[in-house]
């Protein structure tokens, strides 16, 4: 369990800067390429947990790589190569300041808003008489603004985005088109695995040549929510809780232990057994989502491995 990635401090050739996010570190190479390292840090309720999860970074990086490869015929993406199990190298882009959240079902944040009496989310009307986890007649896009560090993302409507000039009308229509196309393909991929892609988010950027591309990760259990298809209708008919395939199990454990990221709350102690359980759940997520057995990377000296693989790629 000690062979995990917490903090990285690489110094790659032509490196200009490094950005450290909650669970990823992104190295700027000559203002041209980005080297994104997926660490094993675990974040929940916008708080980074004190212990890391073995193989989590590899799992998320490899799911994202597979999903981006499986959708590149529909929507161009930022990826140049994946030279290491924990690393994606891609084009440096000018990032759009909105996240495109798309929902096929009334769950999570949308359900909480609905339950409180609201019938519009991000300016999108939601029908009366729905129950939790019910399928929308057609997927809805509920964008959020890119939050500043430490702040939560905020809901925003299409109309506000255009009125404030956050994204131009032409570009926003392209983002909408790409979002629907990606979600449809993600839904088809999930169905082959006996899953339902419930909701997800996409981030987009513009390359130097003007091309709009999807960036970051897509269709991973950290950025998406999945239900098991088998039994969905029966469970809905009984108005019971759906079986989920996402990071929700971590949040549920934290809530049970009186932690939701609120002021004054302490992160509960995470035992070795709990760390192993979470790691095994992430491996299960990988195998269920991709339909492939997970191959653990060599973690005997994980930072040296990453450094060597990235340097070898950059030299080529």
Residue 225 burial (C-beta neighbours within 10 Å; 0-12, 13-18, 19+)? buried
23-31 mean pLDDT: 96
Query: What are 252's two structure tokens?
Result: 């549920």
Confidence (pLDDT) at 89: 98
Model pLDDT for residues 147-176, shown as the tens digit of each residue:
555 556 799 999 999 999 999 999 999 999
Q: In the chain, what is the straight-line distance between the N-terminal and C-terminal CA atoms, in Å? A: 33
Tell me if 55 sits within 8 A of 282, measured CB to CB: yes
- According to DSSP, the residues that pair with 214 across neighbouring strands are 77, 204
Question: Based on the structure, what is the number of domains in the chain?
Answer: 1
231 in a domain, yes or no?
Answer: yes
65 in a domain, yes or no?
Answer: no
199 in a domain, yes or no?
Answer: yes
Confidence (pLDDT) at 116: 96
Model pLDDT for residues 96-126, shown as the tens digit of each residue:
999 999 999 999 899 999 999 999 999 999 9
For residue 161, the enclosing domain spans: 95-245
pLDDT above 70: residue 1: no
7 in a domain, yes or no?
Answer: no
Confidence (pLDDT) at 74: 97
143 in a domain, yes or no?
Answer: yes
pLDDT above 60: residue 18: yes
pLDDT above 80: residue 313: yes
CATH number at residue 173: 3.30.470.20
Confidence (pLDDT) at 247: 82
Confidence (pLDDT) at 227: 94
* Among 39, 40, 36, 38, residue whose Cα is nearest residue 79: 36
According to DSSP, the β-strands at 43-44 and 47-48 are antiparallel
Confidence (pLDDT) at 151: 55
Confidence (pLDDT) at 26: 97
107 in a domain, yes or no?
Answer: yes
Confidence (pLDDT) at 298: 94
31-52 mean pLDDT: 94
161 in a domain, yes or no?
Answer: yes
Confidence (pLDDT) at 146: 66
Confidence (pLDDT) at 249: 82
- The DSSP symbol for 23 reads S
Model pLDDT for residues 177-223, shown as the tens digit of each residue:
999 999 999 999 999 999 999 999 999 999 999 999 999 999 998 89
Give CA 1 to chain center in angstroms. 24
Determine how many CB atoms are found less than 10 A away from the CB of residue 303: 17
Confidence (pLDDT) at 299: 94
Tell me if 186 sits within 8 A of 217, measured CB to CB: no
77-98 mean pLDDT: 97
35 in a domain, yes or no?
Answer: no
User: Among 1-15, 73-87, 207-221, which is the least confidently predicted range?
Assistant: 1-15
């Amino acid at each position: 369990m000690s062979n995990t990635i917490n903090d990285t401090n690489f110094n790659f050739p032509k490196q200009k800067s490094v950005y450290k996010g909650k669970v990823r570190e992104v190295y700027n190479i000559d203002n041209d390429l980005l080297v994104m390292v997926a660490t094993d840090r675990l974040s929940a309720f916008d708080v980074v947990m004190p212990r890391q999860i073995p193989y989590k970074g590899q799992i998320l990086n490899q799911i994202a790589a597979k999903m981006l490869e499986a959708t590149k015929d529909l929507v161009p993406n930022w990826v140049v190569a994946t030279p290491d199990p924990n690393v994606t190298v891609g084009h440096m882009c000018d990032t759009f300041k909105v996240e495109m959240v798309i929902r096929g079902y009334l769950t999570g944040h949308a359900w909480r808003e609905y339950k409180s009496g609201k019938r519009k989310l991000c300016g999108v009307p939601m029908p009366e008489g729905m129950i939790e986890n019910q399928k929308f007649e057609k997927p809805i896009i509920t964008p959020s603004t890119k939050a500043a560090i430490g702040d939560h993302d905020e809901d925003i409507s299409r109309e506000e985005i255009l009125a404030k000039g956050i994204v131009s009308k032409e570009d926003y229509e392209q983002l909408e088109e790409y979002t629907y196309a990606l979600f449809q393909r993600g839904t088809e991929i999930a169905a082959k695995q006996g899953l339902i892609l419930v909701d997800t988010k996409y981030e987009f950027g513009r390359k130097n040549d003007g091309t709009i591309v999807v960036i970051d990760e897509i269709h991973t259990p950290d950025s998406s929510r999945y239900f098991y298809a088998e039994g969905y209708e029966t469970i809905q008919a009984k108005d019971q809780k759906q079986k989920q395939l996402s990071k929700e199990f971590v949040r549920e454990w934290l809530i049970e232990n009186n932690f939701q990221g609120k002021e004054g709350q302490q992160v509960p102690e995470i035992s070795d057994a709990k760390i192993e359980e979470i790691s095994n759940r992430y491996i299960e997520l990988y195998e269920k989502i991709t339909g492939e057995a997970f191959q653990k990377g060599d973690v005997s000296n994980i930072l040296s491995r990453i450094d060597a693989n990235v340097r070898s790629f950059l030299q080529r």
